[in-house]
Structures are given as structure tokens and as C-alpha cells.
Amino acid sequence: MYVESPPGHPAVTVAAPAKLTLSLRVVGVRPDGFHLIEAEMVSLDLADTLSFGPGDGLEVTETTTGLRVPVTDDNLVRRALAVVGRTAHVRLVKRIPAGGGLGGGSADAAAVLRWAGVADLVTAASVGADVPFCLRGGRARVTGIGEVLDPLPPVEATYTLVVPPFGCATPAVYRAWDAMGGPTGAGPNDLEPAALRVEPRLAEWRDRLGRATGETPVLAGSGSTWFVPGAHPGDGRIMVRATPPLLV
């Protein structure tokens, strides 16, 4: 997905759509400590944008709340550039809340790969477990540690998100899940009990969304975003739509 730059502007701008994990079961742990999952994911019309120009560097403009986005070599944009052997001066506008469980960092890395003309899912997986899905987009059954995709037919769907003004660090949530003995979530996301232990304030935001919509909110990935199906406009809520695949 490309967004054309103004005439005469040297940069190329690429959209980086968020992902929404509709269901997530943790089905095992590999010897290296990575968790095996069975999930269903869709890409959304909520997206960061990355502008690639001459030079070498990373600028981040944050337009949302959440965890701070580092500009060090650990940033997935830098890691993706290194994997494809390219350099660029990248201006990243963050609209996907960092730490919100919406795959923002992986989406940004996938945008780098698309800019570089790389469509290989193995290469994407070497950057991060969620990068293959974010590279392809659409709707898929996701297994392994997140790198195995089974595309599913696209659906037209709208979701309502609530994003608290704080994030949840994925490694901390998985550590808590391990420490709790690997609980199964009461709903479609096994990570909900662990995320609530890591960040008890999540319960307030879940209950607020549930009361306002009459639906049972589901945690997006490892949190902190909660979502319900359908459009429920209101203060602090974000309406998003599922989007078709980026690669076929």
C-alpha cells in the first residue's frame, strides 16, 4: 500500500496498516522460550505512514498515546532495513499506539519490506514473528510463533477500539502467562488474564467499553487495546474496518 508523495518530493511514502488479533490461543512453548499460538488476524484501515528519502536516519512523530517508540537499532524499522541491506532516511508517523497490541512495530517493519520490494515471508519472519502477517495483510489463520499464515477469505467488518493511555509490553505479558501456569482465557484471547495481572488498569477500560456498547470486549493481542464488533461511536472510541490483503 503506497501513498504517493507530492510532485517533486523525493520521498516515497508507504502505509503500514495495523493488525487486529480476533482470537488467540497459546498452545505451547518452544525450547527457545517462544510461544506457539493459534490465532485469527485481520488488517485494519488504522495505519502508520513511513516516508523514505535519501540518507540514513529515523525520525518518529507520535500522534497517539502508548509506550515510547525507540529510535535505536532495536527499532523494527532499523532492523528491517538491515535485513534487506538498504539505507534511507525514514520519517515515521505513528498512529498505531505502541504497546497497544495492534502490531504497530511489525507493521512498520513490513512497510520497509514492501518499499524494498521484498515479499518473502521467511525474510519477514527473521525481523519479527508478526511481520509476515503485516507484510501480507488481509485475514489469516496464524500459527507457529506468528510466522505461519493460512490466508482466509476477506470479510467486510467494522470494529470499535478503545486504546488506554498506556501500553502493555508483550514480553512482560508472556512472562506473566508463564508464571500463572499458562491459563486459558474465558474469551477468545488466552493472554487476557496475564495482561490484567501486568496492568490491572485494563479492567476499568474493558468495563467502560462493555457498558457503553452492550458487547463483551476482547483484548487485542497482549493489550492494551480492547475491541468489540460493530460501530459504536462515542468519546474516546475508534472505529476501524478490516482491509484486504496487501500482497497476493
The CA distances from residue 161 to 16, 83, 112, 208, 210, in Å, are 18, 33, 26, 12, 11
Dihedral sign (CA 46, 94, 102, 200): negative
- The owner of cell 498512529 is 95
Grid cell for residue 211: 457498558
Q: Is the dihedral of CA 208, 212, 218, 219 positive or negative?
A: negative
Name the grid cell of 67. 509506550
What are phi and psi for residue 44, nearest 5 degrees? -125, 165
List, by residue number, the catalytic residues: 19, 130
